Chains A and B, each alone.
Chain A
Amino acid sequence: MKRKLAAAIVIAGMMVSVSACGGDDGDDSGKNAGPDSFKGQTLTVWAMDGSTPDQWVKDVTAAFEKKTGAKLKFETQKWDGIQQKITTALSESNPPDVLEVGNTQTPAYAVTGGLADLSDLKSEIGADWTPSVSQSSVYDGKQYAAPWYFTSRVVIYNKKIWAKAGIKDIPKTRDEFFKDLETIGKKTDAEPLYLPGQNWYLFDGMIIGQGGDLVKKEGDKYVSNLGDAKVAKAMEVYKKFQSYSKAPKDKDEANPQQAEVFAKGKTGAFIGMGWEAGTAVTANKAIEKDLGYFPIPGETAAKPESVFLGGSNLAVAQGSKKQALAKEFLKIALSDQYEGELAKLNGVIPNKKALESNLKGNAVAEAIAPGAAVGGTTPLIPEWGAVENTPNPIKAYMTAVLNGKSPADAAKQVEAEINKRLAQEN
């Protein structure tokens, strides 16, 4: 009798919430996915620093709490050391339910079994996800995360300083850009550009621009391709850019936060993500009116510099006991309304083409679009994740070249480490 009743409940549950199957534990399956059925629960979401504008958090939380009756808790995470933090968190009995995972790191997590299979969600709401963006979350034919947004780097500049230097137009080619930076250096007391030595995502974009790649396949194994002439050429370009900056050659853009440096108003420009402009404004309100954006100029006016397409996905922890609720959250956060709002507020490119209209008139997004069209990513293979672990050998390579080593020698110095990490078992 009891068993029959239980079975009936399970079946009823399955009929209402189809999304609750697919490998989760049965905790949720008896529950109704309608409003108020999640009352008393709290869903924890890990979002990365800068991803979620306050307004968006407020709106999504309100919508989520209204629809489900559950509470929503956002916890902002720092990029520093995030891989170890996510790994250990996924192993715990009470992991964050939803987490933002960078697109370059998603394949590595997909193979660990720590992320829940979201294939059903994909068939429910993901029919029009931009394939190239969704691709990083697919492993072994299963969807391990939902594409959230992507963005890329643009030049963010201080109009006041550029005007002081007498520059009227934004540069269309790399050489024009260099000339402008030189002018700023001569005519003002500002630092022309803030570019630390280890902004390796920018460097990755430049490699893509040269038609190169970070890894190559040797037999059935991936190995480092850092010694390639195209990579060396990209590094020369980076070096030239870096020569206009007094920023440390052995630090990345988050140490110190480049937007905070820029916010002091003594820097002509920096190369960063759209939301970093927001960071600068938070640090110094007065800078807001002087902000301008343009795509990183390429060799010719016809083709801007290629950029790394930094994307973020939203994944659900396999160990989460609130899988159904987590999917409810994803449905709300990724709905046209809130996905569109995020695009608008943060100037990031949304996960479907139809929503790109939200970016109309958005200065950041308009600056992003040309570069993104010729952009790319790091190798989307599970083996790649380990290469990004601290200390990142690519950063060591960059610092070595900037300090005067030849690209070939610098590559030799780190290739063994890269190969070791690529060969590392997951």
Chain B
Amino acid sequence: MKRSLFGRIWPNATAVVLFVGFAFPVYWMFATAFKPTGDIISENPVWFPTDVTFDHFKKAVDADHFWTLVLNSVTVTVLSVVFSLVIALFAAFALARMRFRGRRGLIVTFMLAQMAPWEVMIIAIYMIVRDNDMLNSLVPLTVFYTVMVLPLTVLTLRGYVAAVPKELEESAMVDGCTRTQAFVRVIFPLLAPGLMATSLFGFITAWNEFPLVLILNKDVEKQTLPLWLSQFQTAFGDDWGATMAASSLFALPILILFIFLQRKAVSGLTDGAVKG
């Protein structure tokens, strides 16, 4: 099909504009974090940091208990993502591949669970955790984050399981595999990109959560990074260099994770399209 010059240019031009629009805030965060303060508060923005400084990062990391918070955040996030993936995989398999009474109701249950507004229930959660003597602990955080991301994980994984051709499983079973073996050897490898892609939602949710940890864990040593970031911001107010350095440090692990996992997931998608 022939396209006019205009027809060829505008998609690319739009893509560039969109790229700038989406990437700029992230770029500006990193750029500000590396700029000396004089370049940050200047009448005309300095678009590209020329003298790179690490002072802001030093200030950001200098906070009390910083590394404890990092450890707590990583622990809680990784555990809740792993737990929710494992639990959800069982459920997703049943929902995608089996026929049983109450299936419809269960799917809608997960849809409803996905709607739960956790932030508005924090007093109820607080009282439950308090009355069970579990305050200042990472356990309730892990549990609640797991349940927070579980419904969407189930619903999403269900799609991935359903997309694995059933014949593959059946032929494996004809070859003498049990259903479990067929799952582990045939379906699971095919599900890997799906699992990775699904985990992103969990990572971002658990990594970012702060109203709950704010009320549950008053002990600094049991807090997580979002609290550090939000308190940092009030404490340093208009010190944008340090605030952006803190934001960069906070966002970086998730950004890396997304770029890494998303590439796999998307390439899985395109592969499928090419082969199809």
Contact = CB atoms under 8 A, between A and B. Distances in A.
Interface of A: 75, 78, 80, 84-85, 88-89, 91-94, 254-257, 260-261
12 contacts: A78-B235, A80-B234, A84-B215, A88-B126, A88-B130, A88-B215, A88-B218, A91-B130, A254-B237, A256-B237, A256-B238, A257-B236
Given A78-B231, A85-B218, A92 B130 contact: yes
Contacts of B126: 88
The 7 closest A-B pairs by CB, nearest first: A256-B237, A256-B238, A257-B237, A80-B234, A92-B130, A260-B237, A255-B237
A256 B130 contact: no
A340 B68 CA distance: 37
Contacts of A85: 218
A85 B215 CA distance: 7
B262 to A, nearest CB: 36
B238 A261 contact: yes
Contacts of B234: 78, 80, 254-255
Interface in B232-269: 234-239
Given A78-B231, A85-B218, A92 B238 contact: no
A92 B135 CA distance: 9
B78 interface: no
B41 to A, nearest CB: 9
A424 B220 CA distance: 32
Nearest to A91: B130
Give the dominant DSSP class at B's interface.
helix
Given A88-B215, A89-B218, A93-B133, 13 more contacts: A78-B231, A78-B235, A88-B126, A254-B234, A254-B237, A255-B234, A255-B237, A256-B236, A256-B237, A256-B239, A257-B235, A257-B236, A260-B239
B243 to A, nearest CB: 10
B220 A75 contact: yes
Contacts of B231: 78
A94 B135 CA distance: 9
Contact of B236 (A75, A88, A260): A260
Contacts of B220: 75
Nearest to A256: B237
Listed residue (B133, B135, B235) with the most chain A CB atoms within 10 angstroms of its CB: B235
A257 B238 CA distance: 8
Listed residue (A85, A88, A93, A254) with the most chain B CB atoms within 10 angstroms of its CB: A88
Give the dominant DSSP class at A's interface.
mixed
A91 B133 CA distance: 12
Contacts of A84: 215
Contacts of B236: 256-257, 260
B237 A261 contact: yes
A89 B216 CA distance: 10
A302 to B, nearest CB: 37
Nearest to B218: A89
A342 B81 CA distance: 49
Contacts of B235: 78, 257
Contacts of B218: 85, 88-89
Contacts of B237: 254-257, 260-261
A21 B247 CA distance: 50
Nearest to B126: A88
A254 B231 CA distance: 12
B135 to A, nearest CB: 6
Contacts of B130: 88, 91-93
Contacts of A89: 218
A248 to B, nearest CB: 10
Contacts of A256: 236-239
A20 B126 CA distance: 31
Contacts of A260: 236-239
A94 B130 CA distance: 10
Interface string B123-161: 000100010010100000000000000000000000000
B45 to A, nearest CB: 19
Contacts of B239: 256, 260
A49 to B, nearest CB: 9
A295 B237 CA distance: 27
Listed residue (A78, A92, A93, A254) with the most chain B CB atoms within 10 angstroms of its CB: A92
A92 B132 CA distance: 11
Nearest to B37: A264
A326 B235 CA distance: 30
A93 B239 CA distance: 38
A403 B119 CA distance: 33
Nearest to B220: A75
